[in-house]
Amino acid sequence: MRQLSLIDKIIGEADQVLRTLARGAAVAQRPSPAGSQAEAGLSADERRQVAGFMRVNHTGEVCAQALYQGQALTAKLPQVRTDMQQAASEEVDHLAWCQQRLDELGAPTSRLNPLFYGASFAVGALAGLAGDKWSLGFVAATEAQVCAHLQGHLNQLPLNDKRTRAVLAQMHSDEAEHRQMAIDAGAAELPAPVQQAMSVMAKVMTGTTYYV
């Protein structure tokens, strides 16, 4: 197999950026869990609420793609790099499912996605440079936050919106597996100040992309 040059890697990363940020470019390998569920008769207020939730989750998946790409780029152990790439592949499904649900609701994605992508890629690359155990620790802590965040949305969804519920439930299951993968691979527990900073940034992201 030919060794990839620096130019090859740069082109590959640029292609992945476009696939993540361009509307409709993400293609899921698994069918959407919403496929077998009928559309609910949501009120205008309920549609706005669900659209806000899904816009937040879509941006979260944009951030996940960037985070895993940055970490895979700087990971030192081949197995860790492979695990990051596999997790990123599964997150593409989430990205596509969120986009599909937003389309069904007639709602746009967040205009802030490029900003959050860049920030998440930089954080992922820095975490990888700090060492694999810290990079994995960052994944574990991030996925724990994401699971709690998804559970909050599941608790607040209109009871009859089974399409959105099916998507978020599968995402929750996948994210929990990603967290366990990181722990099993030797994740270090992040210092409390780092976890607190992550929590603040998560609140900034969710608070802005719900509306913008």
Residues 149 and 206: beta-carbon distance below 8 Å: yes
Q: Judge whether 175 is annotated as a binding position.
A: yes
Q: Judge whether 178 is annotated as a binding position.
A: yes
Q: Judge whether 153 is annotated as a binding position.
A: no
Q: Judge whether 46 is annotated as a binding position.
A: no
DSSP codes, the chain? -PPPPHHHHHHHHHHHHHHHHSTT----SS--GGGGSPPP---HHHHHHHHHHHHHHHHHHHHHHHHHHHHHHH-SSHHHHHHHHHHHHHHHHHHHHHHHHHHHHT-PPPTTHHHHHHHHHHHHHHHHHH-HHHHHHHHHHHHHHHHHHHHHHHHHS-TT-HHHHHHHHHHHHHHHHHHHHHHHTTPPPPPHHHHHHHHHHHHHHHHHHTT-
Q: Say how many Å lie between the first and final Cα of the chain, rounded.
A: 45
DSSP codes, 35-50? GGSPPP---HHHHHHH
Binding site members: 61, 91, 94, 143, 175, 178
Binding positions for Fe cation are 61, 91, 94, 143, 175, 178
